[in-house]
Structure 1
Amino acid sequence: MFRVLAATVALCWSLKTSREGETCAPLKNHGSYSAVEIGIGTPRQSFDLVADTGSSNVIVTHCACQQTNCFGYSTPCFTGANRSSTFHIPLGEDGEPESLALEFGSGVIFGVLGTDVVSLGSTAAVMNRSLVLMYDHELDASITDFEGIFGLGLPYDDVGFEKSSWLTTAAIDRFSMCFTGFEEDGVLRLNYGEAKESKMKSVGKYHWGLNFNGISIGQETQEVLFCDGQTASSRCGIIPDSGTTLMLGPSQQILELFSSLCDMWPRCQKAYAEFNRTQKDEFTLGGALGDWLKHALSKWGLPTISSPFAPDPKTQVKLDKRRHFEGLLKSCQSWGASDTAALDKELPTIYWHLAGAEGEKQILEMPPSSYVVAMGYAEQVACLPFFGEYEYVTAQNGPIWILGSAVFYDYVVQYDLSSSSISFSDSPCGHCAGAPSAVSGVPLLKLARKRRGNGQRLRRQEGKVRMPHWDTQRPL
């Protein structure tokens, strides 16, 4: 108890000085996710934790994991009792540590609740009975070098946690996230200046959530495909989540989106029209890639969702258009999508229509080279839509979409805890002080277009994607 009290007193000066200015930390790009360096304990032990706005927990791999061989000897792990003077594990009424199991898209993490100092740069907070120490897991076998999760989710009271959020414990008012490039580090800023963009008040109780008013294709003034919000049955919600790799939506609406993208893509229009006339495909629909593509896709680790669609004529038309859309993308190398400029010239731009709880609105532009990725090498390259299916339906907000990592490459996503609001800015992502910043004055969306115009290579996604795993029985 004395050690924890001493740490709390020593922390006061750290918190006072850190609030005087912005704290900036690089986000290390790991392809499927970005990680931030976090210090735990006294003296500080450093870990690269997944920066996750979809979770509010701070989780670190404990060295007990080595005893169960859960991640092998090469993974950094936290040593508490014999290395950190501020470490403490509270005991329950039965004299045992409080244990818990947390479910994620990649599996289950088993941990105990502990107390210690958690710091990001010069900003620190004592996580009292809320630091999760992972001692075992049932995560996917393809996940390696997992050091833990740094939760930046919307703070809420949860059973078993006195204060489950580092943000509230450290008295963070605002933070923002952006990814500078597909192979470059991004930036996480704490207590940045007030957002200039219109803030949208979060509609979520458990997540940073907004009202989703659908997607339009080609132009932002086009009629939205779904979720227009005109009736109770057409309401939808959306969660901008840095910890999810893909953009996820209900299978029925994903079908509507892909079939409509085929309608707005001349190459796909022509291929489908020829198929409709002859009932014979003029191209391979990616079939020439065969077993290689099947094996490559299996690395993404996407869950299989059984089709809920009835085989009526209208649905069959949409399924055929979706098949042509996905097939043409898989065969992208054969029709010349060798770089982002070629891809953006071929396919239409999509627009996300978002709104806050008090009616504030914002439209996000997303070009093809943001929603299409490539995998493979040399003669075997396939392009894939960066979307997946995820069924999460709420009584109040309807079907929920997840706006994953792609949006953080085109926008600075700003979260304001004081007003429980979210905003998106195309202002420069920049770099933290001391890092090279040749493009710090160029807005993200303009920078992306500049790179695409110069023939930047297509974004790659070879490894396993991160999927959310939330209690879908809860409201947004």
Structure 2
Amino acid sequence: MKCLVAVLVCAVLAEGIVKIPLQKHKSMREALREKGIELPYQDPALKYQPNEFAGSAYMYINNYADTTYYGAISIGTPPQSFQVLFDTGSANLWVDSIYCNTQACNAHKKFDPRQSSTYSAKGQSFYLPYGAGSLYGTFGYDTVQVGDIVINNQEIGLSTNEPGQNFVVAKFDGILGLSYPYISAGGETPVMDNMISQNLLGANIFAFYLSRGGQQGSVLSFGGVDNSLYKGEIYWTPVTSESYWQIGVQGFEINGQETGWCSRGCQSIVDTGTSTLTAPSQLLPYIMQAIGAQQSQYGMYMVDCSQINNLPTLSFVISGVALQLPPSAYITQNGYQSCSVGITPTYLPSRDGEPLWIFGDVFLREYYSVYDRTNNRVGFASAA
């Protein structure tokens, strides 16, 4: 299912409280100012009142070509740092390890459990298939740090074999799954569930702000949201299946005209680990016809770049609210007069036969998304 080609900065955060290093060595305030976001001044002495900040972490994550959003975590004692894809479409945490010598593993940093005084082996192996790429591994336990949140005895997967080429060019050393434990391979307890059970969060939520145009400035937060990163209000919709972050879709509109395709209900999985908007395969030809896209010899749907402003706006009706995707969201300019449509098909059935969509990064760049485990709901607000 997963493509795998595939910010929150707290408004009350003093400089230096939580900072994930960026390639460009700018302060959080400077980086956000370039995006037109001005943080209010806060007294730096507030950091000496830890209760004011307990239970939340705000961290920059990297944007690679609008296809992959990843950031740093650390594992072990002393900590070993890794770049991981933050993925709401899977549940396991795994990293490359010294037990793996395939080309994909050798291209990345590897976790060495021998160098960690807090590591313990579980003695259980696993297999994880993704839409593109798969791996074998073994489970263990160790301390994991995400932002400034430290999780004790977190189950982690250590890769032992990553066949094929899919992970060779990946910008990340592993994946941190953020979906429900129901879909966790091997029954591994997800990171978010351990944060909850260890009472590490002020609120049992996390949120994403995804930058666009390959620019940096994406943010992932745990335990809180940042009002400066979205406009208007957050619209909430209930999770319909506590496995993926799956929600109901009541309507699909093209230029404000209801198509009727979801009149009997559609489902959608909200998935930061999928780079495109994924449509039910039976609906894709009609969408491309409405867009006026032509299929290339490589199977991609293309449009004339000069016509982008004339293309339709797509809208999803979710809990009574129409969330719009303008053509600027779903069209990517690949080069001079070469523009592709960031919508791909899925052939997976949904529950009760309702057509299944995947709201990947194409959708999520338009909307600040909030994932609420206490109330089992997803929130969307227009991204700032």
Regarding TM over 0.5, the answer is yes
Give the CA deviation at 1:53.
0.3
CA contact (8 A) 1:211 1:397 kept: no
CA contact (8 A) 2:104 2:165 kept: no
Q: 1:63 to 1:247 in 2, by over 3 A?
A: same
Report Cα offsets for 1:38-83 as digits up to 9, x if no partner: 1111111111100100011101100222x344433x42111112x1
Counterpart residue number, 1:85: 117
Report Cα offsets for 1:299-340 as digits up to 9, x if no partner: x8xxxxxxxxxxxxxxxxxxxxxxxxx56x0xx25xx35xxx
Counterpart of 1:252 in structure 2: which amino acid?
A: Q
Give the CA deviation at 1:214.
3.1
Counterpart residue number, 2:375: 419
User: Which of 73, 76, 81 lines up with 1:41 in the alignment?
Assistant: 76
Q: Secondary structure at the match of 1:252?
A: coil
Give the CA deviation at 1:395.
3.7
CA contact (8 A) 1:114 1:132 kept: yes
Counterpart residue number, 2:191: 166
Is 1:400 matched with 2:356?
Answer: yes
Give the CA deviation at 1:157.
7.0
Q: 1:394 to 1:193 in 2, by over 3 A?
A: closer
CA contact (8 A) 1:200 1:422 kept: yes
Distance 1:75 1:193 in 2: 32
Q: 1:256 to 1:180 in 2, by over 3 A?
A: same
CA contact (8 A) 2:250 2:266 kept: yes
Give the CA deviation at 1:18.
9.5
Listed as ranges, the matches of 1:72-471 within 5 Å are 72=106, 74-81=107-114, 83-90=115-122, 97-128=123-154, 130-141=155-166, 143-145=168-170, 146-156=172-182, 158=184, 160-161=186-187, 163-171=188-196, 172=201, 173-185=204-216, 186-193=218-225, 196-219=233-256, 222-229=257-264, 235-262=265-292, 294=297, 297=298, 326=301, 329=303, 332-333=304-305, 336=306, 343=308, 345-355=309-319, 361-376=320-335, 381-396=337-352, 398-427=354-383, 443=384
Give the CA deviation at 1:225.
4.1
Distance 2:160 2:52 in 1: 32
Report Cα offsets for 1:411-455 as digits up to 9, x if no partner: 10000011011010125xxxxxxxxxxxxxxx2xxxxxxxxxxxx
Q: Secondary structure at the match of 2:291?
A: helix
- Supply the RMSD in Å over aligned alpha carbons: 2.5
Give the CA deviation at 1:397.
5.6
Task: Give the TM-score normalised by the residue count of structure 2.
Answer: 0.77
Counterpart residue number, 1:431: none
Q: Secondary structure at the match of 2:290?
A: helix
Counterpart residue number, 2:56: 22
CA contact (8 A) 1:237 1:397 kept: no
Give the CA deviation at 1:237.
0.4
Counterpart residue number, 2:18: none
Structure with the bigger percentage of strand: 2
User: Which of 42, 59, 74 lines up with 2:94 in the alignment?
Assistant: 59
Structure number with greater Rg is 1
Give the CA deviation at 1:107.
2.2
Distance 2:359 2:54 in 1: 32
Q: 1:400 to 1:117 in 2, by over 3 A?
A: same
Report Cα offsets for 1:189-240 as digits up to 9, x if no partner: 1111599523211001211111112321112xx22340112xxxxx220011
Give the CA deviation at 1:131.
0.7
Gaps of 5+ in 2: 1-49, 228-232
Task: Give the TM-score normalised by the residue count of structure 1.
Answer: 0.63
CA contact (8 A) 2:184 2:190 kept: no
CA contact (8 A) 2:128 2:135 kept: yes
CA contact (8 A) 1:56 1:155 kept: yes
Q: Secondary structure at the match of 2:128?
A: strand
Structure with the bigger percentage of helix: 1
Distance 1:19 1:103 in 2: 38
Counterpart of 1:101 in structure 2: which amino acid?
A: Y
Q: 1:183 to 1:246 in 2, by over 3 A?
A: same
CA contact (8 A) 1:156 1:164 kept: no
Distance 1:158 1:246 in 2: 23
Q: Secondary structure at the match of 1:51?
A: strand
Report Cα offsets for 1:104-124 as digits up to 9, x if no partner: 011221000110011111112
Counterpart of 1:352 in structure 2: which amino acid?
A: F
